[in-house]
Each structure stands twice: as structure tokens, then as C-alpha cells.
A and B are shown apart, each in its own frame.
Chain A
Amino acid sequence: MAEITIGKEDFLKFREFFYRKTGIQFDDAKRYFVDRRLAERIEATDSRSFRNYFMLLRFEASGEELQTLTNLMTVNETYFFREEYQFKCLVNSILPEITTQKKDSRPIRIWSMPSSSGEEPYSIAMYLLEYWPGIEKWDVEIISSDIDTKILGQARRGLYSPRSVQHLPKNLLAKYFKAAGDGFQVSEELREAVEFTRVNLMNQADVRAYREFDVIFCRNLLIYFDDLSRRQAADTFYDALHPGGFLCLGHSESMSRISSLYKARKFADSVVYQKPKEAR
């Protein structure tokens, strides 16, 4: 098999296309990283040249190859306290704003999706218990959903490798986990705190009951959706949120490729999106 080469103009063309589609911008320093992944997919799809492969990306009716490539271009790893700055933003800015404006004493509701194997919702629960003084006064409901029932089972069991807890402060590891096999299991207290449910975000019947949330975490998921599905997901979250509720996306995701319904809000730790307060 001949060596696949990606010329400078090819790289520039691809970079523009990928930026338009995803909002992710590669600078020149990333050239090698990008070229290698392109070469990998050119070979896997039997495209034989960048030109053919680019045509596939641009014109394929299903858009599947673009999804596969996006997956490859973004690091999609899940571990405890991943993108911690957003949890900081949650306790330092988002929740204080919500509780100041809340007119009733009903619980604060948080939806984390996709749950994957549970690292995100458990991180949220720990963060609230450890770093949010408001937890003394307010009840919180954490609901975490995924389309995959197998992974939901895994999330409920709460068993993790040392690698996935490596970013946790030692005292929290000791407090909320116990040793299990080669790794760790989250405490019963945390497992009791999160409700795991199966949801297909694209199925109206599935998502209909999901309402009256104050905060939604949906990180590193929509970037893999096609344009229409992304927009539908954003609409679903819009209906699921209270007016003034917040939506947190992943660090490589931009609302600019999804929807214009939300208002960008800048807080000390992060830029997040808010359903307009005047919305109904």
C-alpha cells in the first residue's frame, strides 16, 4: 500500500471544513496529529487519496464518516472530575444564582447525560457535598441518563479502575470509595444519590417526562450528532429546563454549531448557556 500523503492545501481545506462543522480549530502545530488521523481513515475507508476521502466526508448522505473522524479527532475519555472547571462553575456561580432567584423550596434538579459509566454524575454529587455550602439548605435531585442499558448497569454498580479516579483528591477517594478488586467502588451514599435512567435523546416519548431541571450537563455528546439531531437535542434540553436554567457543554463543543436559543453567560470559571429567563 502506497504511503498516503496529505499536502499543505489539503490540510488547510480540511481544517476549514472541520471547523465549520464542529467549531474545533486546529492550528499549524496540530498538523502532524491531524494528518496521521486522516491517513488512518483514508486507509480504513479504502479511499486511496485525500481527495476521495474528502469527497466522502463532504457528500456522504449519512454523515457517518464525519462522526467517526470527529470521534478520532477528539479525546473522548471519561474519568472523575473531568473538566473540573465546570463543576467549580456549578458550585461557585450557577447554583448561587439559581438559589437566589428560586421562588419555591422544591429541590434543585440536575440532569447529567450521557451518564456513561457514571463518573460525571458521581463527580457532581461529590462536588456538591464537598464544595457547595448551599447543600445544607437545599435538596438536590441528580438524574443521569444514557441510551445504553449495559453501561447504565455499570454506572449503578460504580466500579472503577485506578486510572479513572487518578484526578480525585486523595481525601475524597478515601471518603467516597472503598477498595474493590484491582480498583475502587463508590460508596453506597453516592450510589443512592444518583438516579440512573435509560433515555434515547432522539425519542420524543423518552424525553417527554424530563422537565423542570435547573442545570443540564451534556458534555462531549452533541459534537458527534448530525446537524438536525443536534438541534433536536438542544430543543429537548430547552423544554427540560426551567426558564433561566443552565446547559453545560463539553470544552470542545460550541453552541454556535447547534442552536441560537440559549444565551451565553460568562462566569469566573466557565462560559455556559442559559435558557432565557423570560422564556416559558
Chain B
Amino acid sequence: MKRVLIVDDAATVRMYYRLILEEAGYLVVEAVNGVEAMEKSLRESFDLYIVDINMPKQDGYGFLRELRGRDELRQAPALMVSTEAADHDRKRAYAAGANLYLVKPVKPQELLVNCRLLLGEVRP
């Protein structure tokens, strides 16, 4: 079973992703910000990260930069999902280490297809 870590401070958003992903057969773990996401990543391993940008304590960019800076964690793909739709947000996300960028709100199918893509389960 592939393991996905959802990093978002909005409880309903985490619940929404969880429902979609569990239905599709993934195992889901949640974190409310970058610091908790890092704590959890050190304790267990994940095949995919879904990361929001605006969060307290440590934002999504900071988390991805830290993730990519740690040898044991840098491989796992990350999908960044945010309310921010400008071009420079997308560029920043990729620069921080995101593999794909989606703008909220996401549709279930959109989320799922992109997760499968990053997990190498479908071809682009």
C-alpha cells in the first residue's frame, strides 16, 4: 500500500483528500504544518507528499526545501496544492522542490490522476 502524507492546516481539506485517496487504496497520514510533516517523515516513510503553501510555523516552501536537503528523504515526489494561482507561485514551488503544482480547489479526479502520475502508476 502506497503511503501519502497530506500537509495542510485546514482540517476539512485534509479530510477531503483523505477520503479521495483512501477510496483509491492509499494509506494516508496528516500533518498541519511543515514542522509536523518533518517530524512524521523522520519517523515513517512516505511515497508521496501533498503540500499546501500557507501554513503556520513552517510553510510549504520551507518544508519542501528541508525535505530536499535531507539525503534520506529527498527522493519522494511532492504535489503542491495552493490557493495561489500566479505564475511566480508556480515557479517558486518548483524551485523549492515540488514535482507538480495544482491550484485549489481541486476536483477528486484531478487530485487522483496527479497522485498516480507522481507515483509512476500512470504515464503522462
Contact = CB atoms under 8 A, between A and B. Distances in A.
A264 B57 contact: no
A252 interface: no
Contacts of B97: none
Contact of B35 (A19, A264, A266): A264
Interface string B5-42: 00001010000000000000000000111111011001
A197 to B, nearest CB: 30
Given A20-B11, A20-B32, A260 B58 contact: yes
Say whether chain A's binding surface is mostly helix, strand, loop, or mixed. Answer: mixed
A260 B57 CA distance: 5
B34 A260 contact: yes
A256 B32 contact: yes
Interface residues of A, number: 15
A19 B31 CA distance: 10
A209 to B, nearest CB: 29
Interface residues of B, number: 15
A259 B58 CA distance: 9
Interface in A239-280: 254-260, 264-266, 271
Interface in A1-40: 16, 19-20, 23
Contact of B36 (A254, A259, A265, A266): A254
Given A266-B42, A266-B43, A23 B58 contact: no
B34 A264 contact: no
Nearest to A23: B36
B108 interface: no
Contacts of A19: 32
Interface of B: 9, 11, 31-36, 38-39, 42-43, 57-58, 62
Shortest 3 CB-CB distances between A and B: which pairs? A256-B36, A256-B35, A266-B42
12 contacts: A16-B11, A20-B9, A23-B32, A23-B36, A254-B36, A256-B32, A259-B35, A260-B58, A260-B62, A264-B38, A265-B42, A266-B43
Interface of A: 16, 19-20, 23, 254-260, 264-266, 271
Given A254-B36, A256-B31, 17 more contacts: A20-B11, A20-B32, A23-B36, A254-B35, A254-B39, A255-B39, A256-B35, A256-B58, A259-B35, A260-B34, A260-B35, A260-B62, A264-B39, A264-B42, A266-B42, A271-B42, A271-B43
